Amino acid sequence: MIVPFSEMSNDSKIWIYQSNRKFIDTELDEINDLIIKFLNTWTAHGSELLTSFEIKYNRFIIIALNESVKPATGCSIDTLYNEIKKLEQLFKLDFLDSSILYLKINEEIKSIVFTEIQNIEDSNTLFFDTTIKKKKEIDNWLIPIKDGWCNAFIK
C-alpha cells in the first residue's frame, strides 16, 4: 500500500536509486506510474507492505518502506531490485552504477566517476550521499564532501 512520502515514519527504510541522466518529462510520468503499480503490489511473504516513494531532481528514485508495519524480506528486496532493472532496460538508464558520485555545483547536478574525487579541490562541494538508510536522513543527504564518507578519498 502506498501512502504519501510525508506520512511515512522517519524510521522507514529507504533505498535511493540514482539515474545516470535526468528523466525527461514523458519518462517521469511513466516512471511514476510504473513505480506506483509496483508498490501497490509489493509484498513480503504475501503480506502487503506500507510504502512510498519520491523522485528528486528528476534523477533520484527514493523508495521508502515502513518496516515497523511489515519488514522487507530477501525475496521482496530482490523483487524491488528486479523492478529497478526493468526501469533501466525500458528507459535505457543506469540506476545501479555505484562508481558514480553525484555533485551539486551551481544548482546543477554533475556526475563524476568515483576515482575522480581526488581531483575535487573544494571539500565544501556538495554531494548526494545515497548511502543513507532511513527517511529521517533524507534532509541531510546533500552534504559537503568534507562531511561525508568520501572525504577520505580527496587530496
pTM here is 0.94
pLDDT digits (tens, 9 = 90+) for 92-115: 999 999 889 999 998 899 999 888
Residue 150 scores a pLDDT above 90: no
Whole-number Å distance between alpha carbons of 140 and 136: 8
CA distances from 146 to 13, 60, 120, 124, 143 (A): 25, 22, 11, 6, 8
pLDDT: is 73 or 117 the higher one? 73
Would you kindly state where each structural domain of the chain is located, as residue ranges? 5-91, 100-153
Q: What share of the chain is helix, strand, coil (3-state, %, to 5)?
A: 35, 25, 35
pLDDT digits (tens, 9 = 90+) for 113-140: 888 888 888 889 999 999 999 999 999 9
Q: Which CATH code of 3.30.1360, 3.30.110, 3.30.160, 1.10.3470 fits the domain covering 5-91? A: 3.30.1360
Find the length of the chain.
Answer: 155
pLDDT at position 154 is 76
pLDDT digits (tens, 9 = 90+) for 54-69: 999 999 999 999 999 9
Residue 143 scores a pLDDT above 80: yes
